[in-house]
Homo-oligomer: A and B are copies of this chain.
Amino acid sequence: MRVVLIGTGNVATVLGRKISGAGHEVVQVYGRDTAHAKALAEHLQAAYTTNIEQLDSDAGIYIIAVADTAIPTVAAALKVKDKLVVHTAGSVSKEVLKASSSRYGIFYPLQSLRKEMQHLPDIPLLVDANNTDDLSLLQDFAGSVVAQVQIASDEQRLKLHVAAVVVSNFTNHLYALAEQYCKKEQADFRLLHPLIREVADRLQYISPQEAQTGPAIRNDTTTIQKHLELLESHGNIKDLYAWFTKSIQMQVRAASDEL
């Protein structure tokens, strides 16, 4: 597949590497910033341009991988008539691409991507299109690039994006709060790395509800009390502790009500 990549950020870079690693040809990279466009293009052995009107007119797919808020502007500037245009955003409707082409769709990586990644993680791709031929084409193309591909409508994609925010951004914020707490209390946050990895890895063979451990689910009020006292001078973590303890205990009750 001949691919034009629009964007030079984290998503464009990682998808570009994956696509080109899968044997497809990234023919051109577009970016507003010359240095960024040139760097990514060189990395992918592609041409580059900073003028959206000078895009290669004969690619098989145009991938818009720019900030969510920039997609409408880019879509309005991009005119490729009957060529397939997709964007890579979780919470933006595919319909914004109507402005660019009669054929449009979605190529959404359900993963947190960073330019500097050495080893690329597994990247599930959610695809969608405004017609069945392009949906098949996108399924095949995505399937040649990654192992997991699913079709998802705008609404389904938005829902998975919300769930992704919860399990990645919020989880990462828990890590950040714990690290902050450790710094203040002169405890070594790195000692928690193996635990953090284990809790994530475990989901491969056990559901999170079954895997729940700790003072809250044991209803260990002595430990909970000790922890809350210790957190007296860490107001935000104390609130969080109380909220999670209650929510974990509510989930146990809800689960046992179902039995």
User: Which residues of A approach B to under 8 Å, CB–CB?
Assistant: 67-69, 91, 110-112, 114, 121-124, 126, 148, 150, 156, 158-182, 185, 187-189, 191-204, 207-209, 211-218, 220, 222-223, 226-227, 230-231, 236-237, 240-241, 243-244, 247-248, 250-251
CB neighbours (8 Å) of A250 from chain B are 236
Q: How many copies of the shown chain assemble into the complex?
A: 2
User: Given that A121-B194, A191-B150, A199-B172 are contacting pairs, would A215 and B166 also be in contact in the complex, using a CB cutoff of 8 Å?
Assistant: no
Assembly CA distance A250 to B197 (angstroms):
26
Structural contact, B174 and A166, CB atoms closer than 8 A:
yes
How far is B176's CA from A244's CA once the two chains are assembled, in angstroms?
12
A247, B241: Cβ atoms under 8 Å? no
Query: Nearest 5 CB-CB pairs, A to B?
Result: A169-B214, A175-B208, A200-B200, A122-B194, A176-B208
Contact at A191–B148, with CB atoms within 8 Å? Answer: yes
Please classify the interface of chain A as helix (H, G, I), strand (E, B), loop, or mixed, using the class held by over half of its residues: helix
- Are B226's CB and A158's CB within 8 A? yes
Q: Are A197 and B208 in contact, with the CB atoms below 8 A?
A: no
Chain B residues with CB under 8 A of A150: 188, 191
Which B residues are CB-close (under 8 A) to A114?
Answer: 202
Partner of A220, one of B68, B124, B191: B68
Closest-CB distance, A226 to chain B (whole angstroms) = 5
Complex Cα gap A156–B67 (Å) = 43
Residues in chain B near residue A191, CB distance under 8 A: 110, 124, 126, 148, 150, 160
Given contacts A69-B222, A158-B230, A160-B191, contact A121 B198 (CB under 8 A): yes
Structural contact, A91 and B223, CB atoms closer than 8 A: yes
Give 12 A-B contacts (CB < 8 Å), ordered by A residue.
A68-B222, A91-B223, A123-B194, A158-B226, A158-B227, A164-B195, A167-B178, A171-B171, A172-B199, A172-B208, A175-B208, A236-B247
